[in-house]
Amino acid sequence: MNLEQKLQRLSDAFGVAGFEDEVRGVLQEMAAPYADACETDPLGNLICSRGSGDPVMLDAHMDEVGFMVRWIEKDGFLRLTALGGWDNRILMAHRVTILTRSGEKVHGVIGSTPPHILSPAEQEKVVPLEDLFVDIGARSRDEAEAFGVHIGDPATIHYPFLRLREGYVTGKAFDNRAGCLVAAEALRLLAQERLPYKLVVCFSVHEEGGLRGAKVAAYRIAPKLALALEGTIGADMPGVPEAKQPVRLGKGPAITLADRSITVRPRLARFLERIADENGIPYQYKLPAYGSTDAGAIHLERGGILAGVVSVPCRYIHSPVSTLYLADLEATIKLVVAFLRRAGEFL
């Protein structure tokens, strides 16, 4: 498979926070041939390692923002609660996929009231998630349950991965399947090289629920150095001033200097810059201090861990139609591989 096909597999896989089994299976298949060992910890983190010595950790969270069924109405409509941060403005009138206990998927739509019967004020109102409902075609609670749907089942908005034009693609969950692919490709590309440390790649769970998986994994791995890989906030679009665009598409990987969860040690940030310059890799800075990443949890474990963040620019994250340039993804992989070849300098 080429890079685009791998991203498609990861994007289309179901992996709502706390329910990452399907995407973990895809990543196990991608990573295991290039690792000495892969194991799943009690929280669901997939941890793959190769080599020996002091650990260097790559982290990429598997989970995507999604929902959980919180109630089934007597007439068969579903009510949802959020798993991760959703923008209420985009929720209405989307298709959803619900993963049932049996592993089957049930499809539905988030219903919307026709504008014909709304007042002008109601038409302008953003409807909160708690007031929205999902229509799965059931006519009663019993029928919905007969379809396999129960309270607690996870759901996500899902439109299939699509190439918009050559090198420019759209799909769900690029935050953070793009970062997952960078980590898996780094493991593959370095498989024949002897590194002066133990490379540990953690595909973590529950980032969208509060950086939970990476916190546990970092304590267990106890790395001397860590790099979190993300798909981050591309906002180069009409109506957003340049000073408020955290990253821009087409400018290469984004190096984080500071966000809401970490201020990266300057010597690590400068090292990443130098690696990029020496290898002719374009890069940009993620403007402070938007968002947070697993590095925020990792760097506080074990008395403190030197940690940084490198991200793939993605527009429209936390929506079902994220977009990215494959050239940015490729450049991010090159930067991370070049960094890992030199990471022993920090140990």
pLDDT attached to residue 346 = 84
What is the 8-class DSSP label of residue 85? Answer: -
Q: Look at residue 119 and tell me whether its pLDDT is greater than 90.
A: no
pLDDT attached to residue 7 = 98
Q: Which stretches within 72-135 are classed as H helix?
A: 120-124
The CATH fold assigned to 3-64+172-346 is Aminopeptidase (3.40.630)
Domain ranges for the chain? 3-64+172-346, 66-157
Q: Look at residue 131 and tell me whether its pLDDT is greater than 80.
A: yes
pLDDT attached to residue 302 = 95
Q: 309 pairs with which residues across the strands?
A: 228
Residues 202-225, mean pLDDT to the nearest whole number: 97
HSE-up (13 A, CA, CB side) for residue 311: 34
Query: b/e string for 227-236 if b means 16 or more Cβ within 10 A?
Result: bbbbbbbbbe
Residue labelled with tokens 């070049």 = 338
Active-site entry in 64, 185, 207, 330: 207
> How far apart (Å, rounded) are the C-alpha atoms in residues 241 and 202?
36
Phi, psi at residue 91, to the nearest 5°?
A: -80, -35
> For the segment 62-101, what is each residue's pLDDT rounded down to a tens digit?
999 999 999 999 999 999 999 999 989 999 999 999 999 9
Which residues have CB under 8 Å from 16's CB, separation 6+?
A: 63, 64, 65, 66, 67, 68, 83, 84, 99, 154, 155, 156
**What percent of the chain stands above pLDDT 70?**
100
> How far apart (Å, rounded) are the C-alpha atoms in residues 36 and 41?
16
> For the segment 34-58, what is each residue's pLDDT rounded down to a tens digit?
999 999 999 999 999 999 999 999 9
- Topology alike, domains 3-64+172-346 and 66-157: no
Lowest mean pLDDT among 111-120, 245-254, 256-265: 111-120
Residue labelled with tokens 């109630």 = 71
Q: What is the mean pLDDT of the chain?
A: 96
| 330 belongs to the catalytic site | no
> How far apart (Å, rounded) are the C-alpha atoms in residues 297 and 225?
13
CATH number given to 66-157: 2.40.30.40
